[in-house]
Amino acid sequence: MNEMPKEALRVSGVSILVNLLLSVCKLAAGLIARSGAMVSDAVHSASDIFSTVIVVIGVKLSGKAADREHPYGHERMECVAAIVLAVILLITGLFIGYEGVTRILDAGEHPLPVPGVLALVAAAVSIAVKEAMFWYTRHHARRLGSSALMADAWHHRSDALSSVGALVGIAGARMGVPLLDPLASVVICAFIAKAAFDIFRDAIDKMVDHSADAATEAKVRACVEEHGDVRRVDLLRTREFGNRLYVELEIAVDGELSLEQAHAIAEDVHDDVERAFPRVKHIMVHVNPA
């Protein structure tokens, strides 16, 4: 297994451990302090463990070597994991929103018990821990170019937002304004749905051979043009394959050079790009006479 899956799995392991400990603590606090919001938040944290397991499966499958049936590798399996996580994230957000709307409509008939201070402390701790996990996971997701890890990072953020709703609701209930909790849940639902949509769109782009962003292509072009024997870049195409990048190049060199010399230049360009851009899995370099 190469270094990228190893690091992604390490991050996922931390994620599972933190979610497990947090779920147990929030459940205990919710039961002791008689807070339904905190018990729901504990269930949300527990669901994140399932989401991270999906990330682990996706990363393991994407790290498998190419074989006869899959000559280009299995990187797109990570995109599949990201799509599944985006759907789970959306369902989670919709559930939070539905619960908030239901509680608003039933507020007059079913008054909530006033939760204890322990639930308030648990909500504050949960916000801090889950927000820290969001930044930790997002940092590694960006460094590795992992859409599945990025989806898991946003799942941490959704849990932090859920805890914000619980904190507001618990504080509001203790101050005599219980409607603050369900109202916060509805707002949180919108944020989570937007994050799910962004993750889903990014994963779909990588599934359908979307080109790399303009900034990445400009950097690749600049890297090629730095080579002293390259007169110009006639063609540059890129396509994202899971979290990896494929590049097609046509370069112009001195037409008087021998085939062996032109081939050596193409090899140098190929190696330079692969060294400069670790995400690049394969480059095809075609040489034109200038």
* 186 φψ region: left (φ > 0), alpha (ψ -120 to 50), beta (else): alpha
pLDDT(142) > 90: no
User: What is the pLDDT at residue 36?
Assistant: 65
Q: Is the pLDDT of residue 35 over 80?
A: no
Least confident of 6-15, 35-44, 185-194: 35-44
CB of 81 closer than 8 Å to CB of 200: no
Distances (CA, A) of 187 to 117, 244, 288: 24, 36, 57
Q: What is the mean pLDDT of residues 245-266?
A: 92
What predicted TM-score, i.e. pTM, was given to this entire model? Answer: 0.61
Could you give the residue range(s) of every CATH 3.30.70.1350 domain in the chain? 214-289
What pLDDT does residue 71 have? 63
Strand 232-241 versus strand 244-253 pairing type:
antiparallel
**Residue 173 or residue 12, greater confidence:** 12
Give counts: helices (H), strands (E), the chain: 8, 3
Structure confidence at residue 115 (pLDDT): 74
Q: By percentage, how much of the chain surpasses pLDDT 90?
A: 26
pLDDT band at 1 (very low <50, low <70, confident <90, very high): very low
- Taking only the tens place, the pLDDT of each residue in 225-252 is 999 899 999 999 998 876 678 899 999 9
Which of 74-88, 124-138, 209-223 has the lowest average pLDDT? 74-88
Residue 26: what pLDDT? 85
Would you state the structure tokens that stand for residue 270, as one six-digit string?
Answer: 């190929």
Residue 83's pLDDT is 86
Span of 50-54, 151-155, 156-160, 278-282 with lowest mean pLDDT: 50-54
* Mean pLDDT, residues 25-45: 79
Residue 261: pLDDT above 80? yes
CATH fold for domain 214-289? Alpha-Beta Plaits (3.30.70)
Domain 3-207, CATH: 1.20.1510.10
- Of the two residues 273 and 172, the one the predictor is more confident about is 273
pLDDT of 163 reads 82
Identify the helix (H) or strand (E) that includes residue 239: strand 232-241
* Per-residue pLDDT tens over the stretch 179-215: 776 777 777 777 778 878 887 887 887 777 678 889 9
Q: Strand 280-289's sheet: what is its strand order?
A: 232-241, 244-253, 280-289
Q: Where in the chain is the domain with CATH 1.20.1510.10?
A: 3-207
